[in-house]
Amino acid sequence: MSNNCGSQITSLGIVGFGAFGQLAALHLGQHFEISAYDPSPGLATVAKQLGVRLTSVHAVSQADVILIAAPMSSFEQVVSEIAVACKPGALIVDVGSVKVVPAEIMRRLLPNHVDIVATHPLFGPQSAGTGIEGLKIAVCPIQGTRHARLAAFLHKALGLNVIMTTPEYHDQELAVIQGLTHLIAKVLLRMGPLPTRMTTKSFDLLSDAISMVQHDAPEVFEAIETANPYAETVRRQFFDLAASLSVELENSIKDTAVQ
């Protein structure tokens, strides 16, 4: 087994074996022995294909590294279950789209004898379709000192562009970056079907952005827009400015008509 973020680390437990949990297993399989837990049925075939052993949440929580890929709706319950089963020295990492709330939950519920790092891979199964090398990941140290070794592993072994940050700064930035992207995509999809023939380069880029997020699970959009403490302010500002622009255009039309 190749070297990884800790010289004694050999096992990885993934809690939440949905689309992103499976993506993680695909790229981490050569570095770890992987087990996973997910209450959803019908995952045995894909788990076998990825060389992942499906087991209980308690068994997964005995791993050297625990990767939490569960939705925000069940995040606190999952962390509570991990907290009573994880072993001293474990490294616990989450991969959610928001960071302030998960970081607070992990800091509050997990024991002092584990290291905690909140991360956000700034990509998903759609954007990682041709590989993950060069893609970005945000890393937020929460508890312990092994975030530096984790960052080194992510960069050297996986080729990711690691951005060290804090949960607060992450959520402030992503309220604009992800919040507006997903919001605009939702609106345009409801206007669809969108034109595909006489398109401009800028519209093609916009369509590409929509295609990268339109198949995300509904809970992803909900977390981005409701679990990020800064998202509402950005969303209100966007709608207010859009309404203001609409008024300006209507007034301009009226002025033109009068002339």
Quickly state the pLDDT bin for 131 (edges 50, 70, 90). very high
Instruction: Judge whether 160 lies within some domain.
Output: yes
The H-or-E segment that residue 135 falls in is: none
- Number of domains the chain is built from: 2
Instruction: Judge whether 4 lies within some domain.
Output: no
pLDDT at 6 over 50: no
Instruction: Judge whether 208 lies within some domain.
Output: yes
Contact criterion met (CB below 8 Å) for 97 and 110:
no
Over residues 194-249, the pLDDT tens digits come to 999 999 999 999 999 898 888 888 888 999 999 999 999 999 999 999 999 999 99
Structure tokens at 17: 């074996």
Indicate whether 25 and 129 sit together in one domain. Answer: yes
pLDDT at 7 over 80: no
Contact criterion met (CB below 8 Å) for 180 and 169:
no
pLDDT at 3 over 50: no
pTM of the model: 0.89
Q: Which domain holds residue 86?
A: 11-165
Over residues 12-58, the pLDDT tens digits come to 999 999 999 999 999 999 999 999 999 999 999 999 999 999 999 99
Instruction: Judge whether 3 lies within some domain.
Output: no
Indicate whether 138 and 211 sit together in one domain. Answer: no
pLDDT at 4 over 80: no
Quickly state the pLDDT bin for 8 (edges 50, 70, 90). low
Q: How far is CA 106 from CA 76, 78, 114, 181, 245, in A?
A: 8, 10, 10, 28, 42
| Helix, strand, coil fractions of the chain, as percent rounded to 5 | 50, 15, 35
